[in-house]
């Protein structure tokens, strides 16, 4: 049962996350940031990770803390649900088209966090959300889930499509990486004998 729940409270945010890596993509998202809710719903659906998120943050200032801290807590819950990281495929990739936009993502679920982000936006905001915050969310996810994560938007014009294709590509890549490998069950997917070392 690869499920986990994590609660995190700071002076800036209060966030609760429950997830099931072997779910069907059911989601129940309330962050107080409409566009982030939309992205996380898409992320849950296309990763097939059941995801429940409750977030309260200092959105009267801006959306930075809520966005980043939501990525932190989802990442922590993923790492917790993975347990000893044994028996997973480890690597995953996806190339996702969304109308005029094409984005690719490659992931190594290695317990060694790193983010490569090659995504540019032509607008500073989508709705009320700063587009620079998308990188912050993926950075927080990678660091706390222990993912080497490469995301690159190959081309696109519509900023909504660019952002959403990043979440969908990451979701599909993680679905593959987290999937149990029937040929490696119970074994670490590393010649070192364990991940993260």
Rounded to an integer, what distance in angstroms lies between the CA atom of residue 161 and that of residue 159? 5
Q: pLDDT tens digit string along 88-112?
A: 999 999 999 999 999 999 999 999 9
pLDDT at 186: 77
pLDDT at 197: 47
**Can you tell me which residue has the tokens 């706390």?**
144
Backbone CA torsion sign across 160, 115, 169, 30: negative
Asked whether 130 and 96 are in contact (CB, 8 A), the reply is no
Q: Is the pLDDT of residue 124 over 90?
A: yes
Rounded to an integer, what distance in angstroms lies between the CA atom of residue 147 and that of residue 170? 11
CATH dotted code for 3-178: 3.30.230.40
Q: pLDDT tens digit string along 6-38?
A: 999 999 999 999 999 999 999 999 999 999 999
In sequence order, which residues have a C-beta less than 8 Å from that of residue 154 and are 6 or more positions away? 102, 103, 104
What's the mean pLDDT when you consider all of the chain? 94
Q: pLDDT tens digit string along 135-172?
A: 999 999 999 999 999 999 999 999 999 999 999 999 99
Pairing of β 125-126 and β 129-130: antiparallel
The pTM of this model reads 0.94
Asked whether 68 and 32 are in contact (CB, 8 A), the reply is no
Going from N- to C-terminal start, the domains of the chain cover 3-178
């Amino acid at each position: 049962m690869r499920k986990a729940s994590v609660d995190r409270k700071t002076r800036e945010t209060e966030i609760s996350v429950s997830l099931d890596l072997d779910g069907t993509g059911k989601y129940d998202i309330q962050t107080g940031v409409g566009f982030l809710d939309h992205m996380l719903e898409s992320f849950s659906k296309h990763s097939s990770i059941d995801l429940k998120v409750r977030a309260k943050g200092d959105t009267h200032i801006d959306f930075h803390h809520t966005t980043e801290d939501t990525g932190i807590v989802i990442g922590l819950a993923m790492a917790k649900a993975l347990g000893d990281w044994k028996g997973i495929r480890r690597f995953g990739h996806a190339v996702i088209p969304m109308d005029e936009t094409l984005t690719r993502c490659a992931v190594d679920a290695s317990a060694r966090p790193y983010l490569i982000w090659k995504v540019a936006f032509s607008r500073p905001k989508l709705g009320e959300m700063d587009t620079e915050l998308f990188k912050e969310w993926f950075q927080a996810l990678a660091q706390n889930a222990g993912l080497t994560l490469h995301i690159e938007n190959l081309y696109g014009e519509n900023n909504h499509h660019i952002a959403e294709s990043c979440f969908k590509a990451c979701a599909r890549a993680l679905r593959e990486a987290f999937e149990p490998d029937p040929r490696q069950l119970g074994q670490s997917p590393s010649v070192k004998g364990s991940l993260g070392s």
